[in-house]
Structure 1
């Protein structure tokens, strides 16, 4: 199964001619999962090879505008371009994010008179008090009439509490993926997301099956699916006898804005990540300023990647002072390559690849090969 990450926006604070606001897409076999949706994301999608109509899930890390303001417009644009089948109703788009996201969408869509041709559901994560400064706690302003009345296309969503046993939020578990969220510290409650692909069953030893007189057919599929079968001679054949070692699933972790991890959940959820996406808003020389605003530097991102033993660290969410590589001139004071150098220096001896994300960069995530 193919899997890749495409960055639609890698800048912080606001979209600029050089970098879009935060947004990236995880694509698996055609399905697109969108992480954050800053202003202008729908335009970035149109410039990419991705199709907005393929978005089935949206994950919002926190409620700052450069991660959120594009969502109502994107949903409306997807609806305008949708051609629903009379025999097959459109699928529900699941949206995950912090408490308050449901209210934001209801107000934005209702006050603008926006009607969608597909249903959506917002699943909110209950934050904890230690995710942001005390003066940044979500106010009781959410008690307006919009808070209780569903938008016409809205379906009831879940309110997801912290699972204290794992210090994480379980968002999704199906036959392909397990998705959890974890807590981060920022000026508003922020979250990261871990997408863990389930292990894939190993290849069938077809030579052994032929030696046992088992011809290709339904029995192969049953064994591949983990089911034991009884042969004509009465022998019970188990999957363990004819399947090679299973292939470990891939793991992709996307962290929202943060100056620190909260609790043990992030390290557990991100352990062994194939790709860890972490913000690096300012260079190490501006660490005090970065932390003051709830952000990280390259060395801080590297510390997280080291603790998680990630295979690849991708830096993004750069201050707009750092132009993309293609626009940098030699000797420029705010050279974005310095951010990569700082992360690599902090990771010296780890053998971990560090990548600077740029708008429209696509990173393939290959299936793990057994040695």
Structure 2
């Protein structure tokens, strides 16, 4: 399982950074989290394939997190003869944004898509929400490639249950920002234990179909009538991996409901600690805020992203009078310690290791 950062800038793309876009790759599929302006260009620079994207999660509807979506959908159409729909998850209004963009540009896709919208709570709305009337309703007539999706409401615990296929479970939680924003928790199902080939051979089990049955937890019967239980050759199951991807936020406290003990927390750190008041005013977080949350959740690795343009990337030599992302890294490390924090750069990839038993 690999996480690739296609964009790590806040607000707008620069020559050295794209805006928010993260891709989770596992086996033969990719899930994308946010799709800011220019994300398809970043995707083309990476080893990732557009046609492998099967799900897209949009944290909120600010442009630096969704303006690249219509173009990406057209790019996927050009590069892949897919048969399965692309599923999208995001706040109420995402369906209308994508449908109108595709309809006005008369964009016909080579595949179907489904938009599942997350019901927005009153507590997520900014104080001036009613002063800027927004009609989230989309015309009942679907785009030619659109299939009807769900409107997902939070459960009794205030958690949005987005997707569960028995292999992965994806949940959403509300974040505080200037528009409704969400964070996503991706939890992998427990993985089978390691198969002990030598133990299998010592029991006289021939390689082949019996190995597959034992690996899947089934007992087998050998030709001489001996019954072998899977537990004799397969170790205990291993916990699945757990990843948290937060959208823009000045308060991520709701993630404690779904995020304790996560392997990775991806969190914004737009401005340094000294600019805390400005951060909160704009609905963003500082490195210390992200690190304190990671500490509270006891996550294995904190990865910071969504940096203001005032901070030069780590890979660039900051000139005198310029600030580097290194300042943000050090501020988070002051809370968590060295080795527990990474500041992502565009095209940076992080492999999420399998958990030990």
> TM-score interval w.r.t. the shorter chain?
over 0.9
Match of residue 247 from structure 2: 256
SS at match of 1:33: strand
Give deviations 1:146-187, integer Å, cap 9, x for gaps.
43221100011111111124x322222124211111111111
Ranges in structure 1 where 5+ consecutive residues have no aligned partner: none
Match of residue 365 from structure 1: 352
Which stretch of the first structure deviates more once superposed, 6-15 or 89-98? Answer: 89-98
Match of residue 142 from structure 2: 150
Q: TM-score, structure 1 length as denominator?
A: 0.90
1:213: how far off?
3.5
Structure-to-structure mapping, 1:1-371, within 5 angstroms: 3-82=1-80, 84=81, 90-136=83-129, 139-143=133-137, 146-165=138-157, 167-231=158-222, 236-263=227-254, 266-329=255-318, 331-348=320-337, 353-370=340-357
Cα RMSD of the aligned pairs, angstroms, is: 2.0
Give deviations 1:284-335, integer Å, cap 9, x for gaps.
0100010011100000000111111111111100111112123332544422
SS at match of 1:134: coil
1:132: how far off?
3.5
1:233: how far off?
6.0
Q: Is the 8 A contact 2:50 2:79 kept in 1?
A: no
Q: Is the 8 A contact 2:188 2:240 kept in 1?
A: yes
Cα distance in 1 between the residues matched to 2:339 and 2:123:
31
Q: Is the 8 A contact 1:38 1:66 kept in 2?
A: yes
1:234: how far off?
5.7
SS at match of 1:5: strand
Cα distance in 2 between the residues matched to 1:187 and 1:232:
67
Give deviations 1:184-220, integer Å, cap 9, x for gaps.
1111111111111222111233444444433333222
Q: Is the 8 A contact 2:190 2:240 kept in 1?
A: yes
Ranges in structure 2 where 5+ consecutive residues have no aligned partner: none
Give deviations 1:11-53, integer Å, cap 9, x for gaps.
1111111211111111112311111000111111112221112
Number of matched residues?
356
Q: Is the 8 A contact 1:183 1:190 kept in 2?
A: yes
Q: Is the 8 A contact 1:175 1:198 kept in 2?
A: yes
Closer/same/farther in 2, CA of residues 238 and 170 from structure 1, 3 Å limit:
farther
Cα distance in 2 between the residues matched to 1:236 and 1:159:
50
Cα distance in 2 between the residues matched to 1:331 and 1:11:
22
Closer/same/farther in 2, CA of residues 332 and 29 from structure 1, 3 Å limit:
farther
SS at match of 1:194: strand
Give deviations 1:233-260, integer Å, cap 9, x for gaps.
6665433333212222212211000000
Runs of 4+ in 1 over 4 A off after TM superposition: 137-140, 230-236
Give deviations 1:80-108, integer Å, cap 9, x for gaps.
233x3xxxx62110111111101111111
Q: Is the 8 A contact 1:136 1:187 kept in 2?
A: no
Give deviations 1:62-93, integer Å, cap 9, x for gaps.
011110000001111221233x3xxxx62110
